[in-house]
Structures are given as structure tokens and as C-alpha cells.
């Protein structure tokens, strides 16, 4: 059975609290007793705990950052022509062969975006631009 991801530490960007989902998630994690810290931006987590890079990396993989996605451009899921809907960045897995360890080495924490409706609205641009019927 797959265990759900439960963060050990949560960072919150102030603007995330302007969204109902941001408030709901903060409340949920408070009830669970998870430590919650503030961060000025979901792109800059500067005070991860840990005495060395190894410890900080381990902690980062169980850290969730709540932010607001400003870039609503979708990247393609290479090598396919499909688009990836950017709701989450990163992965909580620890696979030794994973390329994310190098491509996301400076930001190994998991980020999720609370402005889901903004992101969902953007998909119309992409769905309308192609002739294939997608269901999101
Ligand atoms: S291979 Fe990488 S992206 Fe896939 S589950 Fe493992 S750590 Fe996550």
C-alpha cells in the first residue's frame, strides 16, 4: 500500500494565504502538528534546517512549500508533445538514479501552488490551440 506524503516541515509564502486552499492547507498542517515557517518566496527557501548539505537535502525532501504560481506558461512533457499542468514542482521520492537530483539540486523540496483556478484557467489557451480534445 502506498503511504501518503506527509511533510515534516511546511513553508508558506504570504500571498498563499490570500487563497482559500492556502488557508485550508495551513490549518490542516497546524492541526497535524507540522512545523510551519514563513518564506518570502516559494523560489527562495534559505533557512532549511540541517548542519550540512546532506542533512538539508534529506529534510528538503520531506518539506512542502505552499506558494502562488505566477508563471502560467505550461511546459511540454518532453519527449511527448503533451503539456504538464504545473500544480506541483519536485518529488518526495529518493530514487538514487533520479535525474531530479541534479536538475533540482538547489531546490529539492516539494512546491505546490494554491492558485489552482488560475492554473486551470490557463489550460484553455493550450486546449484551444490544438485540435485534439483533452480532458483536464
Ligand atoms: S525517479 Fe525521481 S521523480 Fe521519479 S519517483 Fe523517483 S525521485 Fe521521484
Domain that holds residue 120: 9-128
Give how far Cα 92 sits from Cα of 89, 99, 131, Å. 10, 13, 35
The verdict on the CB of residue 84 being under 6 Å from ligand 1 is: no
Query: Is residue 105 assigned to a domain?
Result: yes
pTM: 0.85
The verdict on the CB of residue 4 being under 6 Å from ligand 1 is: no
d(CA 61, CA 131): 39
- Is the CA virtual torsion 57, 62, 67, 70 positive or negative? positive
Query: Is residue 13 assigned to a domain?
Result: yes
* Tens-place pLDDT, residues 44-85: 898 899 999 889 988 999 999 999 998 888 878 777 778 878
Distance 100 CA to ligand 1 centre (A): 7
* Tens-place pLDDT, residues 3-29: 889 999 999 999 999 999 999 999 999
Beta carbons within 8 Å of 90's beta carbon, 6+ residues apart = 100, 104, 107, 108, 109, 110, 111
The verdict on the CB of residue 2 being under 6 Å from ligand 1 is: no
Bridge pairing between strands 63-67 and 9-12: parallel
- CATH number of the structural domain spanning residue 86: 3.40.50.12110
The domain tally of the chain equals 1
Amino acid at each position: 500500500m502506498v503511504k501518503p506524503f506527509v511533510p515534516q516541515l511546511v513553508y508558506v509564502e504570504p500571498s498563499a494565504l490570500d487563497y482559500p486552499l492556502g488557508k485550508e492547507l495551513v490549518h490542516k498542517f497546524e492541526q497535524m502538528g507540522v512545523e510551519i515557517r514563513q518564506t518570502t518566496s516559494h523560489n527562495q527557501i534559505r533557512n532549511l534546517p540541517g548542519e550540512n548539505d546532506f542533512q538539508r537535502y534529506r529534510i528538503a525532501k520531506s518539506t512542502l512549500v505552499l506558494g502562488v504560481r505566477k508563471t502560467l506558461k505550461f511546459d511540454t512533457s518532453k519527449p511527448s508533445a503533451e503539456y504538464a499542468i504545473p500544480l506541483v514542482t519536485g518529488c518526495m521520492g529518493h530514487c538514487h538514479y533520479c535525474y531530479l537530483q541534479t536538475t533540482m539540486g538547489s531546490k529539492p523540496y516539494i512546491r505546490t501552488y494554491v492558485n489552482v483556478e488560475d492554473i486551470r484557467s490557463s489550460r484553455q489557451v493550450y486546449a484551444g490551440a490544438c485540435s485534439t480534445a483533452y480532458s483536464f
